[in-house]
Structure 1
Amino acid sequence: MKPISRVFIIGWDGAGSFVASANTPNLDRCVRNGTFDFQAQAATPTISAQCWGTLLHGVSPDKHGLTNEIVSHTPYPDGSPYPSIFRVVREAYPDAAMASFSAWYPINHGIIEPSIGVHKVSMKDRDLSLAAAAYIREHPEVKLLFVQFDLPDAAGHQYGYNTPGQLQAIEETDGLTGHILEAIEETGLLDDSLLVFVSDHGGGGANPRGHGSDHPMDKTIYWGCVGPGIPRGAAIPGTMSIVDTAAVVVRALGIEPPESWESKLPERLFAE
């Protein structure tokens, strides 16, 4: 079994677990080859800044303190006791190439620390997918790369969540994800990379075109990964939480998690 040399995180904003109702051949291929949970749980409240902040910082919103308003105007403090996965990786690998491609600009502005040398790109989804694929081809030495697509959430707000309009946007996002997977395969990185697939929240529970509540439609998300040591076609024992993503990332890269993190490694995720 090859060691894991890098981690790619591909997030579909607002997709919840609705991907199970959509035609997503790229995601489905990874499901067959990895370990997935389609009943994973988002952070509370089920809002983008709180949820992406929880994923990236390994703690719940009451600790990282991020809201949509804050991340839109205020950079995340470099000295926070709750470092992002990017900061943890930077401290372990000072010369590592790292990148964040986010269709929702506040992730790059207010959730990832500003002074740790992360290559940050914010643009619309299709252009974003091509830019991320180009970066992978140009920087095969990348250690950590995060991608966030916004189309599913935008469609949920416009048409309603888990509706034909949103499912079409999810299917389009799967196609954009294919550009990234193609770049990973073409550069020969697939065999020693961990790929994490996740949504930040769902929607349509308390409000057909909104999210933020504890309703299962808002809280339930998909989470999965594929890579060396990850069981093929398996389910995660118990219930996966979005906060545990951070622990998975640092374990894959051979780094001890910060004591301040609440993030925990799911049992038996990695083959010993």
Structure 2
Amino acid sequence: MKKLRLLAVLTAFFTASCFCFAQNWKADHVFLIGLDGWGAYSVEKAEMPNVKSLMDAGCYTLKKRSVLPSSSAVNWASMFMGAGPELHGYTEWGSKTPELPSRVLNEHNIFPTVFSELRKAAPDAEMGVLYEWDGIKYLVDTLALNYYAQAPDYNQYPTALCEMACKYITEKKPVLTAICFDNPDHVGHADGHDTPAYYAKLKELDGYVGRILDAVKAAGIYDNSIIIVTADHGGINKGHGGKTMQEMETPFIIAGKNVKKGGAFEESMMQFDCASTVASIFGLEQPQVWIGRPMTQVFK
């Protein structure tokens, strides 16, 4: 009998501890949707009703700046790692390993990511990263994840990533998920930025965002979720990597539980502030080596 009482007390203490820990979170689920090559210049003209409904429901900026160069791997790394290339060491569009020695390495021998930081704080949290571009997996610390997967070639299976994401969300109800589309970047390279083809691709991608939101609702977790939609870089003509605002400025849109219906915010934001903002949702103490700042003004 004494053993049963002790077990009951320990169980109650553990449950209470978990509850108190979760109470430090602004939401129990975060979904970060990334659109590669989505320049902020395009938002006003784009037909993206699902994205714009999130803008209306939450907060956003169209002036988040990339790090330099304004290209893929270096900016996805900064988005997840809370620092710039001078510290995390990924400096090129296709970096798979750091060209500069990372200033700090975590227990998985990679620069600390928001995924590894959440894993330490919440060992049982379900986390996943789904993507079309293979380069993403080198930048997220896959050892910290429960699940990561690349979608089949979107030229043959354009809806594959969306379908994978919806399945994962409804089955696992993850705590933190990144869903990284490889467009409109490819259309930007092939047809050009700010072209009819580019806007047609944005309309298509908005449809996938809508389906992902529906999956979150179907999973029964929408009211306890925060949705972020953002990008690694923009573009100009048929390229990117340079120092124009068309290449460097990208949207950052956030909506959901405990997010203000505040519209556009004017405070400056950099790519590495994304990781800090996600970390703040989960009440994480960010690593000293991170230089990102959470966008605390967007929260209630």
Q: TM-score, normalised by structure 2?
A: 0.83
- By how many angstroms is 1:233 displaced? 4.2
| 1:227 pairs with 2:256 | yes
- By how many angstroms is 1:95 displaced? 1.1
Residue 167 of structure 2 corresponds to 134
| 1:119 pairs with 2:147 | yes
- 2-structure distance, mates of 1:266, 1:180: 24
- By how many angstroms is 1:186 displaced? 1.4
Q: Is the 8 A contact 1:19 1:167 kept in 2?
A: no
- 1-structure distance, mates of 2:258, 2:280: 12
Q: Is the 8 A contact 1:102 1:122 kept in 2?
A: yes
Q: Is the 8 A contact 1:101 1:148 kept in 2?
A: yes
Select 1:104's aligned residue among 133, 156, 160.
Answer: 133
Q: Is the 8 A contact 2:88 2:98 kept in 1?
A: no
Select 2:89's aligned residue among 65, 82, 94.
Answer: 65
- By how many angstroms is 1:62 displaced? 1.7
| 1:190 pairs with 2:222 | yes
% identical equivalent positions: 28
Query: Runs (4+) of structure 1 moved beyond 4 Å?
Result: none
Alignment coverage as a number of residue pairs: 264
Q: Is the 8 A contact 1:237 1:266 kept in 2?
A: no
| 1:15 pairs with 2:46 | no
Select 2:179's aligned residue among 144, 147, 163.
Answer: 147
Question: Given residue 38 of structure 1, which amino acid in structure 2 is its aligned partner?
Answer: L
- By how many angstroms is 1:122 displaced? 0.7
Which sits farther off after the overlay, 221-230 or 208-217?
A: 221-230
Residue 5 of structure 2 corresponds to none
- By how many angstroms is 1:23 displaced? 0.3
- By how many angstroms is 1:114 displaced? 3.2
Give the unaligned 5+ runs of structure 2.
1-22
Q: 1:3 to 1:115 in 2, by over 3 A?
A: closer
- 2-structure distance, mates of 1:233, 1:69: 36
Give the unaligned 5+ runs of structure 1.
none
- By how many angstroms is 1:251 displaced? 0.8
- 1-structure distance, mates of 2:94, 2:65: 23
Q: Is the 8 A contact 2:33 2:178 kept in 1?
A: yes
Secondary structure of the residue aligned to 1:257 is: coil
- 1-structure distance, mates of 2:262, 2:54: 9
- By how many angstroms is 1:131 displaced? 0.5
| 1:236 pairs with 2:265 | yes
| 1:245 pairs with 2:251 | no
Which sits farther off after the overlay, 166-175 or 261-270?
A: 261-270
Select 2:77's aligned residue among 18, 42, 53.
Answer: 53
- By how many angstroms is 1:44 displaced? 1.2
Higher radius of gyration, 1 or 2: 2
Q: Is the 8 A contact 1:72 1:106 kept in 2?
A: no
- 1-structure distance, mates of 2:119, 2:50: 30
Deviations 1:41-94 (A, max 9, x none): 1111101001100000000012111134431899x97223x3011101111111
- 1-structure distance, mates of 2:231, 2:145: 25
| 1:79 pairs with 2:79 | no
Question: Given residue 109 of structure 2, which amino acid in structure 1 is its aligned partner?
Answer: G
Residue 213 of structure 1 corresponds to 242
Secondary structure of the residue aligned to 2:187 is: helix
Residue 15 of structure 2 corresponds to none
- By how many angstroms is 1:118 displaced? 3.5
Q: TM-score, normalised by structure 1?
A: 0.91
- 2-structure distance, mates of 1:218, 1:103: 21
Secondary structure of the residue aligned to 1:217 is: helix
- 2-structure distance, mates of 1:242, 1:73: 18
Q: Is the 8 A contact 1:203 1:210 kept in 2?
A: yes
Deviations 1:213-244 (A, max 9, x none): 11011011100100222111422232222210
- 1-structure distance, mates of 2:95, 2:268: 30
